[in-house]
Every structure is written in structure tokens, then in C-alpha cells.
Structure 1
Amino acid sequence: MQWKAGALLLLAALAPAPALAAREAAGDSDLQHVVEHVAACMGDRRMVLLGEAHGTREVPLLVAGLAERGSRKGPLLLALEIHGSEHRPLADYLDGDGSEAARERLRKRPYWARPRERNDGRRSEDMLDLVERMRQLRAQGRDVAILPFDVGDGDGRDKAMADHVRKAWEALPRGRMLALAGNVHAMRGRPGYAPPGMQEPMGAFLQDLAPVSIDITASTGAFWACPAAGCGPQPVTSGAPVGMHGGDEAFDCRVVLPRFTVARLIGQP
């Protein structure tokens, strides 16, 4: 299913968290249009693995919309590929007032304060906007929480991340988990086209929990990443048709947005 370009205007506008809340309340249909199509792929599966290219402005905005929708019906746990050391600071922020001072305390933590040349795109103001949106939902009475599940680099990283996700899942008897990770980690299994050195992905270790794996990509634009040549904006060159597409051996569905925009790294306006 393809979308008309006008249906993605809100994603292109990249509203920050407070503006997003206002537009949701006003019934803005653009983001909701995309969210509903993604939700159709999710169906009634309680565990949703969302694969992303790190370092965009669009993905956190879309995930915020999915969290808002999912939390209407019951508990929602947003699992993020953020190091587990951030569990208590994130929990404190969700219970706080969302002030600039509270946000600055997160920014100054070693995890978030990593310099640009070592920032792989996961540390951005857009991700902090997503955290703030979760705080707003909790303040409205929604049963929401954030799980940071990353364990750092290593040969067993994907298995260890899956173990963290599984443990949290076992403590979630009802409701839904949205797990946002790099698109390789969110794969259902190691596809035939994988490079020789690729680990078994996190999603492969969770298949007994019947997750749905969704790849979020774009037709054009750029994202922030750290290839061998160094960290910086990376072009999107797929040219894939915009819309919802069927999956393959790695994903159940693929979402192709019109474009990715490079994330605002920590401290950027």
C-alpha cells in the first residue's frame, strides 16, 4: 500500500514532543494515517520489534505516535537500544516534571554526552523528545514505562539484549511492548543475504514469543551513523516506493517513509 505525499506532512514537519501532543489532541490526521497502517501490520501481537536506521528525526516521532495509540488500551513498555545504565535516570525523568533542567541532567550523563565523532545516532534531541512524550503520557494517567536494554559491544550482544527484553516481557503479563533497535537487531533471523560475520540478531532469540518485526526505512534523505570512514550524515539511496510493503525472511513488514532527516544530536536546537 502506497501513501500520497500529503499523508506524511506531519512527519516532514518534525514537530517536537509538545507540539506533537497538541496536534494529536487536535486530531491531526497525517501522523495518525501512518500510525494506523503500521498498527495494521502489528495486528494483535503484543511484542513489536521496530527496526530503524539510527540518527533520524522521523523514527522517534513515528514511535511516539505508536506509543500513544498502544497505551490507550493498556500497559505499554517502550524498549530502547539504550544502555542499561540509563534505567534509573530515565525512570526518574518519567516521574518528573519534564523541565529543561531535568532534560539537561540526562544530556550531561556520560551515555548521552558522547562527542559527535563517537555518536552513532542513538543520542539525539529527537530521542529525548520521545522520552518526553512518554513522560507526558504517564502524566495523563497512561501506564507506560521505558526499558533501556543495550549491554554494550561484544560477540554475544544480541543474545544478551534479547535476554533483557525477555526478562521484561515476563514481567508484563498484559499490554504491549514496542522494542526499537537498529534494523539488524530487529530481524526475525539471520537472512540468507547477511554478510558472513553477522551475528544471529536479537529478534531470532525471541521468536518463541511470537513478535512481529517491522523495518522502518525511507525512500530518500539522510541519517546519522558511524561507518568505518567516521561518524556523520549518511545518504539514503534506496529509492523504494513510499508506503507499507510486505516483508521478507527478515521482517514481517516494511515501512518506507518519504525521507529521513538527520537527527539533532544532543545539544543541537
Structure 2
Amino acid sequence: MRWMAVMLGLVCSGCAVLSRGLGVPIDEAGEPAPKEETVYLVPLADAMAMTRNILEEQRYDVFEKEGGLELFTSAHEPGKGSAGSRNFERYYVKGEKLGERRTLVRVFRLSYSEIDTVAETPPLAAGVREEAHRNADGVDNPFKRDPFAGAPQVEGYRLARGNRDLGIERTLLQRLEMVPSLELVGGNASVPVRSVMMEEWAEEAPASVPEPDCGAPLAGTDVVMTAGATVLLADPLGTREVPSAALRLVCDATAKGLPVVLGLSIPSTEQALLDAYLASAGLASDAQTLLGNGSFWRRVYQDGRSSRAMLWLIEQVRRLRASGKDVSLLAFDADKASGNEREAWMARHVLDFQRQHAPAWTLVLAGGTHTRTQKVGWDSDFEPLGARLAGQLPSVQALDIGFQRGTQFSCRYSVWEDVECDVFAISPSKQTRHPVGQPASLELFGAPLPEGFHGRLYLGALSASPPALHAQARAPVDTPARATH
């Protein structure tokens, strides 16, 4: 499923204009007004419910028009005007369903003035503007329409103007697309598998060892590749780009003659299966053994750690080893532990494996919370994997990911507080946004960020990688434990 964009008309007539500074204060001040509509990859009901929550948090009463496509808030008077020149304001929300999980939400702030002070203009003419929409063929067709048709009135007042409220819409984007993924550990039942169809794996051994698909170079990464050093890469989970970048780093490190350890957020109980696969010919039957004999790849709820891209990464590492490179895979995660118990488990397995493979260069892929080399602000007792490693190893660097809006396969809490695992849109913050035109590259900071990140690896737009083995199960099962990453 791809996210899409519908062009937003910026040429206005009357008083309907895009605005800043209205609604919820946000930390993205100074950003230019968007040139495209944001299409959220959630059902319409979810997006409208989240918008309602945001408005209710500001102590507005929120009302829904029949059909659920429009919301409006109670009206309030900003300040105190004199008789004949008083004004009232309210929010007006219009939702549009583009598909089962594709939704547009437009938030307006409407201003009403007493009739005596309004210029002689038809009541709704102030809301007319030029907009651009796409027809079924994807061609932009501009046409005039009233975006406030059906908007509620205030008795004794006239609708004078309406502003698109980018503050509220930015908050909605944050709530829907700038949220942590869930890592589902413990109580996550496995689906029995009799056979696994591996379309991209050969049935018979090829005449020569296939070359690994190392991909395009990443500028500036050489400086973090030294013998004995450890690099932690924050993985948003369920994308194609992060495993691809990890492979590129491994390829470059082995090209420099370094022995390499690649740590993956896979339960340590799967280590023997990983070792067997790395030593195999990489046939379809070998992949079936890897996926079918353990429980990790067969979980009912797949949270992005067992994506097709991760399986692809394992195969590329196997090819590197088959070509004579000194590279090992480490499964360091826990099956059921959570909190500090899980962080301690992961740190212990990384440290033990490193001691056995000294002086290898170690690259660890894990969720963003795990890779921090400083404690988190929301729990003073919680000590992430990165902080534990930094306290015991001489050289540890944590790298955040910079990216452009795209998609990921992940598990998240819905607005209804249910766990959903699916393809979601993911948006960067202002700090992590990959500038347009900048090549994929590593930027090291002059000093570590408060979270303990030493640099940022820019990877462009992200694209979702679904589970390697099976489509997401929809049948009810025992609820697994949940851990944000």
C-alpha cells in the first residue's frame, strides 16, 4: 500500500487562506506551508476520532454531523468586542474517505462577525477559493467550490473568514505518524507451518556463489568503521531502507579487511538456526528450515523485526561469508523479557559475542529506544541497551535515522487503544527530516544529543517491508506483551 498526495490549492479567492499560528502550538515553527495534502493511511473513523481528541484536549465541545464526515466545535469569543463588532470563532473539520485506509482531514478555523460590521458580500462568498483535485486518472483539475458549505452558523453573526489551521493538522500528523512502533514480546503465539514457499530462493545450488547486493554507497560512513568499535543503528522497524543501509555498512567494513559482527533484534534462541543458514548453500529448503523450525518468524503478530527485508539481509550476509568475508550474525534479543530485564539480556548477549569475536567491528540494529546511550527521560530506572554498552565498551556510537515521509510495516496502538499491525505512514520530525536533494549519507554531530545519539544516517523516503513469512493474521489471539522501541 502506498501513501499518496493530492495537490493542495494555494491560490485563494475571498478570505479562505492557509494560516500559521492558529490552534495547538507546535515545535515546527518556521517551516513552510505544505504544498500537498497529507493522506493518512488509517481509516476515516480513526483520523476523525483522533482529531476530536485533539480538540477536546483544548476544552472544546465537539459535535459530529450525520455521516461522520464533519466535526465542529463550540464557538468562543476571543477577547471582548464592543456591541456591533463582536467576533466568535470555532473549528470546523471535514474528512474525506479515499479508500479503506486512505483519509484526508482538513481543519479550518472559522471566524464569525456581527452582521452590522460585515461588508455587503454574500454570506458564503468569503469561503470560496480555487482548489486543485485529482480525477480518477490522477490529473489535476482545478475548480471552484465552497470549502465551508454546510459549516454551522452562529445566530446573529455572519461567517466572515476561514483559515486552514496548520497547527491542528500538524498535531494530527504527529499523533498518527510520529509514534513509536510496538515490539511484541511474550505470549505471541506461533502459526504452524508445514511448508514455506520461497519464490526468490533457488531449489538447486548455483554454479557460482551469487554476489551480495551491497547497494549504493553511503557517504561519510568510513569514520565509524574501526576494529573493536560498536555502532548502534536506530531502526524504526518494518522498512526496506534500514536493512539495505546495514548491508552497505557491512560490505564496506569487510572491504576494509575488518571482521564484522552484525547484531539483529532476533531472539537468541534462534542463533543456532541463523548459524546453520549462514553455513548452508542458501537454497529454498535452507530458508524453509530457518523460517519454519523456530517460532520468531511464525508469530501471529509480526512487528517489523521479522520483515522480508530482514530475511533478505540475512541472505546477503550469507553470500558475503560464502565469498570469504569474515562476518557473523548475532541474535541478541529475548523471547519474553521486557523492561530492564530485556535490556540487560540484550547487552549481555552482545558483550559475550563481542568477546568471542574480538577485535571485530560490531553493528547492532535495534529500536530507537534501545540504541540510546543515555537514559530516557520518562523512566529514571530504565537503562537502555546502548547506555549499558557505552558503560562497558571503549568505543560506542549510536546513529539515528534521517528520512523523508514514507511507509513502514509496524504494530501501533490505534486511537481505540487496540494493537494494529499493518502498513502505516511514517513522518520525520523537523530534526530528523532528510533534506530534499541531499544524498544518502552519515552526519556526525559535534557533540552527542541528549538522547545519546552521536550522528544521523540519512536514507531518504522509507518504504514498508511486510512480514517475511505470512500475511498478518486477523483472528483474535492472546494479547502479547508490548514494548515500545
1:67 aligns with 2:250: yes
1:234 aligns with 2:417: no
1:257 aligns with 2:459: yes
| Other structure's SS at 1:102 match | helix
Q: Distance in 1 between matches of 2:467 and 2:397?
A: 30
| Greater gyration radius | 2
**1:133 to 1:211, Cα distance in 2 relative to 1, 3 A:** same
**1:267 to 1:160, Cα distance in 2 relative to 1, 3 A:** closer
| Other structure's SS at 1:226 match | strand
Aligned counterpart for 1:83 among listed residues 246, 267, 281: 267
1:38 aligns with 2:221: yes
**1:225 to 1:264, Cα distance in 2 relative to 1, 3 A:** closer
Structure 1 residue identity aligned to 2:220: H
Q: Distance in 2 between matches of 1:254 and 1:90?
A: 29
**1:132 to 1:22, Cα distance in 2 relative to 1, 3 A:** closer
Q: List alignment gaps of at least 5 residues for structure 2.
A: 1-199, 203-209, 415-419, 436-440, 472-485
**1:83 to 1:90, Cα distance in 2 relative to 1, 3 A:** same
Q: Distance in 2 between matches of 1:198 and 1:139?
A: 44
Alignment of structure 1 residues 213-228 onto 2, 5 Å: 213-228=398-413
The answer to whether the Cα contact below 8 Å between 1:17 and 1:133 also exists between their aligned partners in 2 is no
- Which deviates further from its counterpart, 57-66 or 67-76? 67-76
**1:258 to 1:198, Cα distance in 2 relative to 1, 3 A:** farther
Q: Deviations over 1:225-256 (max 9, x none)?
A: 21223212232222613454435122000123
**1:31 to 1:268, Cα distance in 2 relative to 1, 3 A:** farther
Q: What RMSD in Å do the two structures reach over aligned CA positions?
A: 2.5
The answer to whether the Cα contact below 8 Å between 2:201 and 2:282 also exists between their aligned partners in 1 is no
Q: Deviations over 1:50-107 (max 9, x none)?
A: 1111100111111111111112313111111100111000000000001112112222
1:248 aligns with 2:449: yes
| Other structure's SS at 1:224 match | strand
Higher relative CO (Cα under 8 Å, sequence separation at least 6) belongs to 1
Normalising by the residue count of structure 2, what TM-score does the alignment of the two structures yield? 0.46
Alignment of structure 1 residues 1-269 onto 2, 5 Å: 21=211, 24=214, 31-32=216-217, 34=218, 36-40=219-223, 42-44=224-226, 46-72=229-255, 73-108=257-292, 109-115=294-300, 118-152=301-335, 153-155=337-339, 156-191=341-376, 194-196=377-379, 199-207=382-390, 208-209=392-393, 210-229=395-414, 230-238=420-428, 240-242=433-435, 244-245=442-443, 246=445, 247-249=448-450, 250-267=452-469
- Quote how far apart the aligned CAs of 1:189 are: 1.1
The answer to whether the Cα contact below 8 Å between 2:334 and 2:342 also exists between their aligned partners in 1 is yes
Q: Distance in 2 between matches of 1:142 and 1:49?
A: 21
Q: Distance in 2 between matches of 1:161 and 1:176?
A: 18
| Other structure's SS at 1:31 match | coil
| Other structure's SS at 1:185 match | helix
Q: Deviations over 1:122-145 (max 9, x none)?
A: 111211111111110111111111
- Quote how far apart the aligned CAs of 1:17 are: 11
Q: Distance in 2 between matches of 1:77 and 1:51?
A: 16
**1:202 to 1:237, Cα distance in 2 relative to 1, 3 A:** same
| Other structure's SS at 2:245 match | helix
Q: Distance in 2 between matches of 1:75 and 1:22?
A: 17
- Quote how far apart the aligned CAs of 1:268 are: 6.6
**1:105 to 1:187, Cα distance in 2 relative to 1, 3 A:** same
**1:22 to 1:96, Cα distance in 2 relative to 1, 3 A:** closer
**1:23 to 1:196, Cα distance in 2 relative to 1, 3 A:** closer
Normalising by the residue count of structure 1, what TM-score does the alignment of the two structures yield? 0.81
Aligned-pair identity in percent equals 27
**1:217 to 1:85, Cα distance in 2 relative to 1, 3 A:** farther
Structure 1 residue identity aligned to 2:322: A
